[in-house]
Amino acid sequence: MVLTYLIIFVTVAVSAFAMSNEELFSRLRFNAYDVKHSNQWYRFFTYGFLHAGYVHLFINMLVLYSFGVIVESYFKIYFPGKSGFYYLLMYAGGLMLSIIPSYGKHKNDVFYNAVGASGAVSAVVFSSIILYPAGKIFLFLIPVPIPAPVFGVLYVGYEYYMAKNGRDNIGHDAHLWGALFGLIFTIALKPGLVGMFLQQIGM
């Protein structure tokens, strides 16, 4: 699972260094105003290698590790010779596309900033759900495993609600759009997964 480990290593290294270097952190974070008015489009990508703190970093990387190894394994089975390219394309696409709604809302707001790999990680999680619907997901403080498809429905519903009504300074838009991107991207690569998914959940 080389790519998952590589992404984790690079993200941890960049995040840790940037958290102790305010100038670097400011240059790499997503600032929609700077993207639009200073043409700093690289921020669509670099913000995903920064995190607001070590707890934020740990949670994202733990989730990426847990689901990334599943997605990499299935991609190697379904897309031999192209699995690594598709995996990186999905991760990068989830990272960049998930922040577009925030860009649209805040492109003239000089004070809006965003960091974190959550959009890309959500893409990986939802790719794993369509690839391995029999999987179980464990959440903190919930003592029973949640079937992956049930978790997917609950997650989308929660993130949609919070994106509309939340005031917690968390990028729920990015979570939602990253999740949808991962799902659609994986199905687009192998449409037959839809039938396999329905069969495995008994439909």
State residue 79 phi and psi, 5-degree precision: -130, 60
Mean pLDDT, range 138-158, rounded to an integer: 80
Question: Any idea where the domains of the chain sit in the sequence?
Answer: 2-200
Whole-prediction pTM: 0.90
Q: What is the pLDDT of residue 3?
A: 95
Average pLDDT, the chain: 90
Confidence of residue 121 (pLDDT cuts 50, 70, 90): very high
Rounded to whole angstroms, the Cα distance separating 34 from 11 reads 22
Rounded to whole angstroms, the Cα distance separating 15 from 8 reads 10
Q: What is the pLDDT of residue 191?
A: 95
> What ranges make up the beta strands (E) of the chain?
136-137, 146-147
State residue 137 phi and psi, 5-degree precision: -115, 130
- Asked if 94 and 181 count as a contact pair (C-beta separation under 8 A), the reply is yes
Closest among 100, 109, 5, 86 to 45, alpha carbons compared: 100
Judge whether residue 171 has pLDDT over 80. Answer: no
Q: What is the pLDDT of residue 178?
A: 93
Judge whether residue 33 has pLDDT over 90. Answer: yes
Rounded to whole angstroms, the Cα distance separating 9 from 62 reads 12
Q: What is the pLDDT of residue 168?
A: 66
Q: What is the pLDDT of residue 76?
A: 95
Mean pLDDT, range 103-130, rounded to an integer: 92
Q: What is the pLDDT of residue 43?
A: 95
Q: What is the pLDDT of residue 57?
A: 94
Q: What is the pLDDT of residue 159?
A: 80
Residue ranges of alpha helices (H) inside 132-192 are: 148-165, 172-189
Render the burial of 85-121: b for 16+ CB within 10 Å, e for the rest: ebbeebbbbbbbbbbeebbeebeeeeeebbbbbbbbb
Judge whether residue 167 has pLDDT over 70. Answer: no
Q: What percent of the chain has pLDDT over 90?
A: 66
Does 74 or 164 have the greater pLDDT score?
74
pLDDT digits over 185-199, tens only?
999 999 999 998 888
Return the CATH architecture of domain 2-200: Up-down Bundle (1.20)
